[in-house]
């Protein structure tokens, strides 16, 4: 069975991706800080699932989580780097701790999770004859256009996008599909109250796009997918 790891799961898009991949027949590894939420979600998924409370800022925590996933579910075939943590503040109102946290939970954790997962996707010689796999990065509007008043978030998302592009060129010839998804708009999560839902992206629809990336033929892989709601102002 294919094993997918979602790094950074919460109500909304992370949960929708987990549900979509489980519905597609994947066993699923769920990584996030909240173990109670993860346990409830894992119990509700239709396939074999391992939920691990993980501090994605901690390299040892990440290494332990991936070892547990291999022991319970098998080698990792799919990784979704979905975590982010940043205050929406400008230059003078952002503390060094907040800036560091944005980096540590964002591109640094993406890097560590990718290193842990890619071992399973490549053969020992790394020449492309291994099983292959897919790594998806969740990006945002600020991945391509810095946002005023969000220096930490913009820095982190730019960093993750650069990491994804570099990895795609390195790992693509070896059979690993790396894709970056720009979520260009707000997501209609469970905590969003609005009279104009059409102005938001539906998390279930985004998850369908993630699943499509996993299913793509190697002859036509997507490097970057740009998703946004259809609104008249666009």
Tens-digit pLDDT profile for residues 32-43: 998 889 999 999
Q: Which helix (H) or strand (E) holds 139?
A: strand 133-140
| Residue 127 confidence (pLDDT) | 55
As a whole number of Å, the CA-based R_g of the chain is 17
pLDDT for residue 126: 52
Domain spans, the chain: 3-227
Residue 129 has what pLDDT? 63
Q: Helix 203-215 to helix 13-23 angle, to the nearest 10 degrees?
A: 50
pLDDT at 234: 47
Q: Tell me what percent of the residues of the chain surpass a pLDDT of 70.
A: 95
For residue 165, what pLDDT is reported?
A: 98
CATH classification code of 3-227: 3.40.50.720
Confidence (pLDDT) at 198: 84
The per-residue pLDDT for range 120-136, each reduced to its tens digit, is 999 655 555 678 999 99
Q: CB 188: neighbour CB atoms within 10 A?
A: 21
- What are 24-68's pLDDT values in tens digits? 999 999 999 988 899 999 999 999 999 999 999 999 999 999 999
Report how far apart the first and last C-alpha atoms of the chain are (Å, whole number): 41
Check if the beta carbon of residue 26 is closer than 8 Å to that of residue 78: yes
Q: Which has more confidence, 205 or 198? A: 205
The pLDDT assigned to 158 comes to: 97
Please state, as a whole number, how many other Cβ atoms lie within 10 Å of the Cβ of residue 137.
27
Question: Please, what is the Cα angle at 61 between 9 and 52, to 5 degrees?
Answer: 40
- pLDDT for res 171: 97
Mean pLDDT within 180-195: 89
| Token duo for residue 35 | 């173990």
Residue with tokens 């998806």: 136
H or E element in which residue 53 lies: strand 49-53
* CB-CB neighbours of 144 under 10 Å: 15
Higher pLDDT, 125 or 205: 205
Tell whether the model's pLDDT for residue 168 goes beyond 70.
Answer: yes
Cβ partners under 8 Å of residue 89, min gap 6: 98, 149, 150, 151, 152
In angstroms, the CA 108 to CA 85 distance is: 12
In the predicted model, what is the mean pLDDT of residues 203-228?
Answer: 97
Q: What is the mean pLDDT of the chain?
A: 93
pLDDT of residue 128: 57
pLDDT, mean of residues 62-81: 98
Read off the pLDDT of each residue in 208-218 and give the average, rounded to a whole number: 97
Nearest 5°: CA angle at 11, between 233 and 194?
Answer: 35
Answer yes or no: are the C-beta atoms of 109 and 7 closer than 8 Å: yes
Model confidence band, residue 94 (pLDDT cutoffs 50, 70, 90):
very high
- % pLDDT > 90, the chain: 85
Count of residues in the chain:
234
């Amino acid at each position: 069975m294919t094993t997918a790891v979602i790094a950074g799961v919460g109500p909304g898009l992370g949960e929708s991706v987990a549900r979509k991949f489980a519905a597609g027949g994947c066993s699923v590894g769920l990584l996030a800080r909240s173990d109670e939420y993860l346990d409830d979600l894992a119990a509700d998924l239709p396939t074999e699932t391992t939920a691990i409370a993980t501090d994605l800022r901690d390299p040892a925590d990440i290494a332990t989580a991936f070892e547990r996933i291999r022991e319970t579910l098998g080698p990792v075939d799919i990784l979704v780097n979905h975590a982010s943590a940043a205050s929406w503040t400008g230059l003078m109102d952002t503390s060094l701790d907040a800036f560091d946290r944005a980096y540590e939970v964002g591109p640094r954790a993406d890097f560590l999770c990718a290193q842990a997962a890619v071992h399973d996707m490549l053969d020992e010689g790394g020449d492309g004859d291994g099983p292959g796999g897919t790594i998806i990065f969740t990006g945002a509007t600020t991945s391509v256009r810095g946002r005023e008043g969000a220096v930490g978030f913009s820095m982190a998302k730019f960093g993750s996008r650069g990491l994804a592009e570099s990895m795609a060129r390195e790992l693509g010839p070896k059979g690993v599909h790396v894709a970056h998804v720009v979520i260009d708009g707000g997501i209609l999560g469970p905590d969003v109250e609005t009279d104009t839902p059409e102005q938001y992206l539906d998390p279930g629809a985004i998850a369908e796009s993630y699943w499509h990336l996993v299913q793509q033929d190697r002859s036509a892989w997507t490097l970057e997918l740009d998703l946004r709601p259809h609104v008249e102002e666009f």
